Amino acid sequence: MEENVVLTARGITMTFPGVRALENVDFTLRRGEIHALMGENGAGKSTLIKCLTGINDFEAGEIHIAGIDGPVKNHSTRDAQSVGISTVYQEVNLCPNLSVAENLFIGREPMTAFHTIDRKAYNKRSQKIMDDLGISVDVTQNLENYSLAIQQMVAIARAVDMDCKVLILDEPTSSLDDEEVEKLFVLMRRLRDQGVGIIFVTHFLEQVYTVCDRITVLRDGHFVGEYPIAELPRVKLVAAMMGKNLDDLEEIGKDHTDNAASKELEISARGLSHTGTVKPFDLDIHKGEVVGVAGLLGSGRSELARAIYGADKASTGTLQVDGKTAKINQPIDAMHLGMGMLPDDRKAEGIIGDLSVRENMILALQAKQGMFKPLSRAKQEELVDEYIKLLQVKTAGKETLIKQLSGGNQQKVILGRWLITQPDFLILDEPTRGIDVGTKAEIQKLILKLAAEGKSILFISSEISEMLRTCSRMAIMRDGEKVDELDHDLTQESVMKAIAGGEQNND
């Protein structure tokens, strides 16, 4: 093993039933570097990581770790941790009902002389760890009292404190806002300088170029190449990931304002609110219009949509749909009025994991039709085939369980679920989160196409740039309140300023 390499994987091959997930993949991680692992959905990033951490039992290939003779084969995350590989996933794998300190030391609690847990010691040590990392928390509080971002930081702190040589961060920034991401980067750089090798999996190209030193690209389970960051400009990276040159993102033009919405109102909300999450707001959406909702995470942007859709029943206000006053008590009422909602938390509110792709896709239409009017199997297959093709869902078959699909393909299935119902008004809450660049472009195009067909869309995203590409108007949310509405001069800067509010300037 060459000098200062901490981990090498050679020729890793792994098959799932019917799919070759990894074929002869190499990966090299050096001491003190942040190494981006890039690829589209289903390229094999997660699979490779699971091979490193012992969750997947790979069939061929070898993994070597500095300081250990012979190939290492982990059979559990515990094995992986014992050889110095720690992982922090997108979904936080900690216990929300335990305190921050308990989470940090679970399974390795400091003991007193009487072999009881030394609470004082670990609370003190925990506080020091968190303070050192610049995270202000009370370590005796339960983890569930903190935001997802803090929980993620705790997970990283835990991993770091276990003397890891290799830290794997799998989509750690998906649910963080900009400031939190910056904090995370400070932490990552500090760890790098301490000599930890960090594997960083993300879909945000921006972030890769901000913190990473090196990039490894996978495509369709194959190793494409390893590049120092300076030698792989953005366009080439995208090209390497997709296996072709792509200007699609640029192609989605500014001309969307031309397919200007009609003057007819689809949705008209007056004083709508949901106690505790979103203050009373007014919102009009015309037919054929794409309206964006921008704001920081937790600003009430999802809650605004949920109040319209009845996912959280509105506490005050009135809603008119297509000119008629609507009474929405629960989602099915909204669906009968021609609405659909793709929720932001795909795992918790989107997919029905143990049902097949087919069942997941037809679920909403079936619910709309009612229990005693089942869609015939032939009709189901026809619809599902059509939308699998339209959305280019990569799946082994219609009867594959949706949980076996990659995140982006799961998202396409959920999108298909709503498109099948032929909605007049579609709420898309973070439809492109955790999705690769190519699919993002497809979804953005689809949004514009739906609008051109006269459908109204409420588009919520953390990426202002993608809303700029698609929306003609944007509602700005801050602290649970709709504070502004921008309909001309939409630029990254103007939107950022509106989100930040008068007294701040984010540039």
Partner 1 sequence: MTKKSLWRRLADSGLLLPIVSLLLVMAVNIVFDIVSGNNPFNFFMVTLQHTTSNGNVLYGRIIDVLNRGSEAAILAIGMTLVVSSSAGTDISVGSVMSLCASFCCMLLAGYGVSSTSTLAVPLIVGVLGGILMGALCGTFNGTLVAYFGIQPMVATLILYSAARAIGLLLCNDLIVYIRNGSFAFFGSFLGPIPTPIVITAVCIVVMSLLLRKSALGMYIQSVGINPRASRISGLNSRRIIFITYVICGLFAGIAGIVASSRITSADSNNIGLYLEMDAILAVALGGNSLGGGRFNLAGSIIGAYTIQAITTTLYALGVSTTQAPVFKAVIVILIVAMQSEPVKSYMKKRRLARTAKEGGAV
Query: Which residues sit at the interface with partner 1, rule CB under 8 A?
Result: 17, 311, 330-332, 335, 341, 343, 348-355, 359, 363-364, 366-375, 417
Q: 16 or 492, CB closer to partner 1? A: 16
Nearer to partner 1, 195 or 374 (CB): 374
Nearer to partner 1, 113 or 348 (CB): 348
> How many CB atoms neighbour CB 350 within 10 A?
21
For residues 367 and 396, which CB has a smaller minimum distance to partner 1 in the complex?
A: 367
Q: How far is Cα 328 from Cα 346, in angstroms, rounded to an integer?
A: 23
Could you tell me where the DSSP H helices lie in 204-321?
205-211, 234-242, 248-251, 301-309
User: Closest approach of Cβ 374 to partner 1, in Å?
Assistant: 5
Nearer residue to partner 1 within complex by CB, 178 or 424: 424
**341 vs 435, beta carbon nearer partner 1:** 341
To the nearest whole angstrom, how small is the minimum distance from the Cβ of residue 339 to partner 1?
Answer: 10
Q: Any residues with CB less than 8 A from the CB of 275 and at least 6 apart, and which? A: 315
CA-atom Rg of the chain in angstroms:
24
* Min dist. Cβ of residue 99 to partner 1 (A): 25
The C-alpha atoms of residue 393 and residue 57 are separated, in whole angstroms, by: 26
User: For helices 357-369 and 377-391, what crossing angle results, to 10°?
Assistant: 120
DSSP 361-400: HHHHHHHHH-TTSPPPHHHHHHHHHHHHHHHT---S-TTS
- How far is Cα 479 from Cα 476, in angstroms, rounded to an integer? 10
Residue 353 Cβ vs partner 1, minimum distance, rounded to whole Å: 6
Identify which of residues 135 and 364 has a Cβ nearer to partner 1 in the complex.
364
What is the sign, positive or negative, of the torsion defined by CA atoms of 133, 186, 211, 220? positive
Distance between CA atoms of residues 384 and 365, nearest Å: 12
Q: Is 99 left (phi over 0), alpha (psi -120 to 50) or beta?
A: beta
Q: Smallest gap, in angstroms, from Cβ of residue 180 to partner 1? A: 25
CB 58, min distance to partner 1, A:
14
CB of 90 vs partner 1, minimal distance in Å:
18
